[in-house]
Amino acid sequence: MYFDLTDPDEQKGAYSKLVGGITPRPIAWVSTLSADGVANIAPYSFFTVASVNPPVLSVTQVNPAENQNKDTLNNLLATKECVINVVSHNLVEQMNQSCGNFSSQTSEFTAVGIASCASQSVTPLGAAAAKVRYECSLRDVVTISEQAGGGQMMLLNVVGIYIDESVLVNGYIDPRALNTVGKMGGDYFTTTHDLFSLARPEIN
């Protein structure tokens, strides 16, 4: 079947076709601090590396139906800092619970029972059990659309990286030790247990 997304009626079903086919998606568990000092943490699966030199990460908010910013984006705009906590398999339940519809005055760290830790270079707390944490400052917000379902891309300068020594092998992050999870369509997630290696082809 072919779906013509220039047709407004077909656009209504675009979300499931996008997130169902673009998989697995890494999960950014983003912790921020509100202007009132409330510690927030929430997962986003529209997440990737945008640049290495300079080091920049990209996290996109898909605007809610009520067309208001989520707490994460509001906090970033107010305080300009966040921590991207990488979600290993042992954290998946707490990560999932943290995406509940909590008020902006409720800390998910407290509500869900997520152990926190101080960061080195930014003010927001990190998830203590996260084996990799990227401490970031806000670089820019690119608004693709302000409509419900529209995207607002948060570009984040990486100012420091915490890596637990248990996942380091010869100076590199071992994917088997990090044991991340990925987001699939619907309520599905995937593990990264079944790994295989392919050497890049040599070009003469």
Q: How far is CA 112 from CA 43, 47, 75, in A?
A: 13, 23, 19
SS3 29: strand
What are the C-alpha distances in Å from 94 to residues 60, 97, 113?
21, 5, 8
| C-alpha to C-alpha distance for 117 and 125, rounded to whole angstroms | 6
Over the stretch 141-193, which tens digit does the pLDDT of each residue have? 999 999 989 999 999 999 999 999 999 999 999 999 999 999 999 999 999 98
Mean pLDDT, residues 12-23: 92
Beta-strand relationship, 181-183 and 189-191: antiparallel
Between CA 9 and CA 132, with CA 20 as vertex, the angle to 5 degrees is 135
Q: What does the mean pLDDT of the chain come to?
A: 95
pLDDT band at 13 (very low <50, low <70, confident <90, very high): confident
CA atoms within a 13 Å half-sphere pointing along the CA-CB vector of 151: 13
Neighbours of 143 (CB within 10 A): 11
Upstream peptide bond of 24 is cis (omega within 30 degrees of 0): yes
Q: Tell me how far apart the alpha carbons of residues 12 and 93 are, in angstroms, rounded to a whole number.
A: 30
Whether the per-residue pLDDT at 8 is higher than 90: the answer is no
CA 166 to chain centre: 22
Q: What percent of the chain has pLDDT over 90?
A: 90
Q: Which of 8-12, 124-128, 155-159, 178-182 has the lowest mean pLDDT?
A: 8-12
DSSP state letter for 24: S
Q: DSSP 3-state assignment of 17?
A: helix
pLDDT confidence of 9, banded at 50, 70, 90?
Answer: confident
Instruction: Give this prediction's pTM.
Output: 0.95
**Cα gap 55→63, rounded to integer Å:** 26
Which pair of tokens denotes residue 114?
């997520």
**Lowest-confidence pick of 39-43, 104-108, 120-124, 192-196:** 192-196
Q: Given its phi and psi angles, is residue 179 left (phi above 0), alpha (psi -120 to 50 degrees) or beta? A: left
